[in-house]
Amino acid sequence: MTDNRPHIIINLRPILQDFMLHEFNSSDDGAIILHERHDIGRFINTMWSISDKPVSKKDYKYPVKMIIPVQPNSAHILKYNFIHVTTWKHVQIINYIEAEFKRRVRDFFSIGYEKKFKQTDIINAFLQAYNIKNNALNFDQVKKLDYRNRFRFREEIAKTIQSTIIQ
């Protein structure tokens, strides 16, 4: 069965693919079904462009098909034109998804540390909650994000204290 719904294809690392699959439903062929009720879906839906001629397909290492929500004001445009994402907008989409992912990680760790859980337990809980493949690479990526967030937090504390020291 061929899915004729309008879609875009972007290059998305596996850990971010899993994150997106957690946030959205997927079709039988594994495509992510975007919707406007979610900030990420709303953002991605503003980033596609149209052309009256077919646009050459890019060769991606991690291609992910995303089905675009059809709105009454876009139904005609989507039906009679070719949809694509420019290189610049492609980068913006990936940056936004990564930022949302990092925010979720930061929130997860903040709450986990507040409740006195160990880092390893928080990482494993995050990987399980977001259905991210629990392998060494993904574990280390999430651990690094936590380390960077805590490092920035400690830097802010040091700057605040230093600014109040009377010299």
Per-residue pLDDT tens digits for 27-53: 999 999 999 999 999 999 999 998 888
What pLDDT is stored for residue 75 in this prediction? 82
pLDDT band at 60 (very low <50, low <70, confident <90, very high): very high
What values do phi and psi take at 66, rounded to 5?
A: -125, 120
Helices (H) and strands (E) in the chain, counts: 6, 6
In total, the chain counts a number of residues equal to: 167
Find tokens 């462009």 and name the residue.
Answer: 49
Nearest alpha carbon to residue 65 among 107, 15, 16, 26: 26
Domain ranges in the chain are 7-94, 102-164
Query: Model's pTM, two decimal places?
Result: 0.83
Per-residue pLDDT tens digits for 73-121: 888 888 888 999 999 999 999 999 999 999 999 999 999 999 999 999 9
